[in-house]
A and B are shown apart, each in its own frame.
Chain A
Amino acid sequence: MAEQRGTVGGPVLTEWFAKADLHTLDVYESLGGYSALRKVVTTMTAQQVIDEVKISGLRGRGGADFPTAMKWSFVPKDHPGPKYIVVNADESEPGSAKDRYLMENSPHALIEGAAIASFAIGGHQAWIYIRGEYDLPYEMLRDAIAEAHAKGYLGDHPFGSDHALDVRLYRGHGAYICGEETALLESLEGKRAQPRSRPPFPAVKGAWGLPTAVNNVETLSTVPWIIRHGGAEYASRGTEKAKGTRMVTVSGDVQKPGNYEIEIGVTYRDIIEGLAGGMLSGRDLKVFWPGGSSAKVLPASMIDTSTDLDGLKALGTMGGSGGIIVMDDSHCVVKAAARLLRFYAHESCGKCTPCRVGGNWAVRTYDRILANEGSQLELGILERVSDGLQNGRCLCGLGDAAGWVIESTMRHFHDEYEDHCLRHTCNVGKALAHA
C-alpha cells in the first residue's frame, strides 16, 4: 500500500488508521474489532440491531443518502430462504476514492459491518461486489475473510452462536454503471449491467430474485462503531438531521489531496483550505464538485457552503459520494465539462434513449465548441440536451448526472461558454489538453 493520504485517527471510521498492520485480524481485534459482531450475535436480536442503527441516524454513503436502518427494515422478516446483503464496493464515481481508502486500511471493519448487516436482515450471506481494478483491496479482503473464518468469527457458528454468517467476494469488470444498485445486481447474476426498472425494489426482489439490501462500503464500515459506542453517540455528531461523520476525497488542484473524515456540517472552506492545505501556490479556486462528478458544481464564491447533506440538497446539489474535485483558475470549465460528458456518454449502458443519444450528442457538441466551431446554436443544443437528460426522463441517475454537469457549469460559467462559442477564445491561461 502506498503512503496513506488522508485522516488517520479520526473520530469514527479512521479511528484506528494510525495503527500499523490494522488490516490483520490480530491488530484489528486488539483494538476492539469484532467486539460489535460478538455482541450482536450473542446478545442482540435483529430488531435491536436495526433500532440501534436507526438511533444513529446513519444514512447511506453511496450517494443516494437513504436511511440505512429503514433500508434493512424493508427486507421482509418472514421471508423463507436466503436473503442477501450486497456490499457496493464498485466505487467508480469520478473524484471518489474513499471506499478504497477504507478497504485498504481496515478490511475487517467492512467484513464485520457486512456480517452485522446480514444478521440484522435475518440473512446469512453477504456478497461484496468490488470493482475489478481494485486488485489490492480485493486481495486484502480475501485474506481478511479467510482470517475471520479461521478464527470462527464467520462460518456456521460465529462466536459460538447458531446464526451462520459468511462474506464472499465478486469482482466487477469495468463499468461505471455497475455502481447503480440494480445494475450491480444484474452484473452479480452474470449479466450485462443494465439497471432494472423499479418496483420491485431490491428489498423484495434483489440478488438472484431474493430479498436484498445493497449498502455502500463506508456505510457498512461505520456500523461496528455504532454498535460499540451506541447510536446516540454517533448521532451526537453532525448536523440536526444529517448525523455523524463521513469520508470525503479531495482531489484536483489542492496542496494535500486525500481522503478525510469530516464531521458533517463543516464547510467546504474547512475542507479545501484546512484539511487539503489550500490551493496550489499562486492560483485561485474557480469551481468545485461537492460530491463527486455527478453533483452540480459550486463556484468559488460558495466555498462557505456547509457539508450538511440536506443543505446541499436545498441548493440543488448533493453530498453524493463525497468526492470533492477542486479546480483552480488555470483550468477551463468548458473543457472540464466536456471531459466529464465523455465519461457519462462512454459509461451509458444504452438502455434508455435520452441517455444513450443525449450523451453522445453532448460530446459531439462539445467537440465542435472546443474546435472553435461553436455558435449560438451550440449553446442552445447543450441546453436542450441537458434538459432532456434530467427530471426523470432516464431510468437511472446516470442520465441526470450528465445533464447536471452541463446545466450547472453553464449556469455558473456562462461567460466561459460564450467565449468559446461566440468569440472562439478561451480566457484561461493553461488549458487542459483537448479532452
Chain B
Amino acid sequence: MKTTSVLSAHLIDEIKALPARYPQPRSAVMPALDLAQEELGYLTPEAMTEVATALQLDAGYVEGVATFYTLFHLEPIGKHRFYMCTNLSCTLRGAEELVEHLRGAIGVHEAGEVSKDGLFSYEEVECMGACEYAPMCRVDHRYHYDLTAEKVDGLVAERRSPAAAAPLSSSPLSPTLPPERGEGDKPKRAPKKKKADG
C-alpha cells in the first residue's frame, strides 16, 4: 500500500460509494474517472491505479477504459480546454480557419499543446450535435455558437482576465457536487436547483 496518494481522501471515499448506485459495480468506473479527472485536471497512471484500487478492479482494466474515450485526458491539459468541432457542418461554415485563429490567439502550434501560462489548450473534435449553430465549440462545459474570429478572441480574453482566474465552472460531472453555471451560453431560463441526482 502506498502511503501518499494523489487523490484526496474524501474523493476516494466518494469513489468507493459509487458502485452502490448501479446494478453492477463495474458501471462506476467512468463516473469514478470523472471525479479523479476533475480533481487532478487529467488522469495520471497513479490516479488510475488508485481508482482501480478503490473500485476493486484491475489497474490495466481501468486504464483500458480511460484510453478508449476521448473525454478522458491522459496528458496535462490547459485550464481551459477548447473543443473545436471540425466535422462537416462546422467545416462548411469555416471551422478550419477558426482553429488556425485560435492557435494564434492562445499561442500554441498544435492540438494538445498547453499555452505557456498553462491556461489554454485545444483539441479538434467530431460533431458535437449542435450543427445548426455551426461553427461551434465547447469550453468549460458550455457550448459556444456561430463562432467568428472575434468571438474566439472574446472567449480567450474572458478567460485571461483576473475575474476568470478562479475556476470558471465547477464541473457538472460530479453526481454529488452542486453545479455552477459556466460562462457563455447561460441558459436564459435556468431551472431551479434541486438536489443533484445522477
Partner of A432 from the list B26, B72, B92, B142 (CB cut-off 8 Å) is B92
A347's closest neighbor in chain B, by CB?
Answer: B126
Residues of B contacting A193 with CB < 8 Å? 68-69
B132→A250 contact, CB < 8 A: yes
B24→A189 contact, CB < 8 A: yes
Residues of A contacting B33 with CB < 8 Å? 173
Scan residues 168-194 of chain A and give those whose CB is less than 8 A from a CB of chain B. Answer: 168-176, 187-193
Q: Does A373 contact B (CB under 8 A)?
A: no
Choose the segment among A56-64, A130-138, A226-234 that binds chain B (4+ C-beta atoms closer than 8 Å). Answer: A130-138
Rounded to whole Å, the gap between the CB of A7 and the closest CB of chain B is 12
15 more A-B residue pairs beyond the given contacts A252-B89, A323-B131, A339-B88, with a C-beta to C-beta distance below 8 A: A5-B132, A94-B88, A146-B196, A172-B69, A173-B71, A190-B24, A190-B30, A208-B24, A249-B131, A251-B134, A252-B131, A327-B92, A343-B126, A432-B92, A432-B96
B131→A251 contact, CB < 8 A: yes
Residues of A contacting B195 with CB < 8 Å? 146
Given contacts A97-B130, A139-B179, A258-B132, contact A133 B83 (CB under 8 A): yes
Interface residues on B, range: 35 or more
Rounded to whole Å, the gap between the CB of B170 and the closest CB of chain A is 12
Contact with B along A94-114 (1 / 0, CB 8 A): 111101110000000000000
Given contacts A92-B129, A189-B24, A323-B131, contact A173 B189 (CB under 8 A): no
A190→B27 contact, CB < 8 A: yes
Residues of A contacting B31 with CB < 8 Å? 171
Rounded to whole Å, the gap between the CB of A280 and the closest CB of chain B is 10
Scan residues 238-259 of chain A and give those whose CB is less than 8 A from a CB of chain B. Answer: 249-253, 257-259
B194→A147 contact, CB < 8 A: yes
Rounded to whole Å, the gap between the CB of B42 and the closest CB of chain A is 14
B91→A432 contact, CB < 8 A: yes
B128→A133 contact, CB < 8 A: yes
Given contacts A142-B197, A190-B28, contact A175 B69 (CB under 8 A): yes
Contact with A along B165-198 (1 / 0, CB 8 A): 0000000110000010010010111011111111
Rank and list the top 7 A-B pairs by shortest CB-CB distance, nearest first: A433-B96, A251-B131, A173-B69, A146-B194, A174-B70, A190-B26, A251-B89
Q: Does A216 contact B (CB under 8 A)?
A: no
A325→B192 contact, CB < 8 A: no
Q: Does A379 contact B (CB under 8 A)?
A: no
A133→B129 contact, CB < 8 A: yes
Q: Does B48 contact A (CB under 8 A)?
A: no
Residues of A contacting B15 with CB < 8 Å? none
A2→B145 contact, CB < 8 A: yes
Choose the segment among A20-28, A45-53, A363-371, A384-392 that binds chain B (4+ C-beta atoms closer than 8 Å). Answer: A20-28
Residues of B contacting A24 with CB < 8 Å? 189, 191-192
Rounded to whole Å, the gap between the CB of B120 and the closest CB of chain A is 19
B68→A6 contact, CB < 8 A: no
Residues of A contacting B182 with CB < 8 Å? 135
B127→A95 contact, CB < 8 A: yes
B192→A143 contact, CB < 8 A: yes
B191→A140 contact, CB < 8 A: yes
Q: Complex: how many Å from CA A339 to CA B96? A: 11
Residues of A in contact (CB 8 Å), total: 78
Q: Does A68 contact B (CB under 8 A)?
A: no
A92→B127 contact, CB < 8 A: yes
Residues of B contacting A146 with CB < 8 Å? 194-197
Scan residues 299-325 of chain A and give those whose CB is less than 8 A from a CB of chain B. Answer: 323, 325
Residues of B contacting A170 with CB < 8 Å? 27, 198
Residues of B contacting A133 with CB < 8 Å? 71, 83, 128-129, 138
B129→A435 contact, CB < 8 A: no
B89→A325 contact, CB < 8 A: yes
Q: Complex: how many Å from CA A264 to CA B137? A: 32
Given contacts A95-B127, A133-B129, A250-B132, contact A191 B65 (CB under 8 A): yes
Rounded to whole Å, the gap between the CB of B65 and the closest CB of chain A is 6
Contact with A along B132-160 (1 / 0, CB 8 A): 11100010011101000000000000000
B92→A331 contact, CB < 8 A: yes
B91→A173 contact, CB < 8 A: no
Q: Complex: how many Å from CA A190 to CA B87? A: 28
Q: Complex: how many Å from CA A147 to CA B126? A: 33
Q: Does B50 contact A (CB under 8 A)?
A: no
Residues of B contacting A218 with CB < 8 Å? none
A143's closest neighbor in chain B, by CB?
Answer: B191
B191→A144 contact, CB < 8 A: yes
Given contacts A139-B179, A142-B197, A259-B132, contact A346 B65 (CB under 8 A): no
Q: Does B46 contact A (CB under 8 A)?
A: no
A139→B172 contact, CB < 8 A: yes
Q: Does B29 contact A (CB under 8 A)?
A: yes
Q: List 18 A-B contacts (CB under 8 A).
A: A2-B143, A2-B145, A20-B189, A23-B189, A95-B88, A96-B131, A97-B131, A99-B129, A101-B132, A134-B129, A135-B172, A170-B27, A170-B198, A171-B31, A173-B69, A176-B126, A208-B23, A325-B92
Residues of A contacting B194 with CB < 8 Å? 142-143, 146-147, 150
Partner of B142 from the list A132, A136, A173 (CB cut-off 8 Å) is A136
Scan residues 111-155 of chain A and give those whose CB is less than 8 A from a CB of chain B. Answer: 131-136, 138-140, 142-147, 149-150
Q: Complex: how many Å from CA A336 to CA B70? A: 23
A343→B87 contact, CB < 8 A: yes
A336→B88 contact, CB < 8 A: yes
Q: Does A9 contact B (CB under 8 A)?
A: no
Contact with A along B16-59 (1 / 0, CB 8 A): 00000011101111110110000000000000000000000000
Residues of A contacting B71 with CB < 8 Å? 132-133, 173-174
A26's closest neighbor in chain B, by CB?
Answer: B192
Residues of B contacting A5 with CB < 8 Å? 132-133
Given contacts A168-B198, A190-B65, A433-B97, contact A95 B187 (CB under 8 A): no
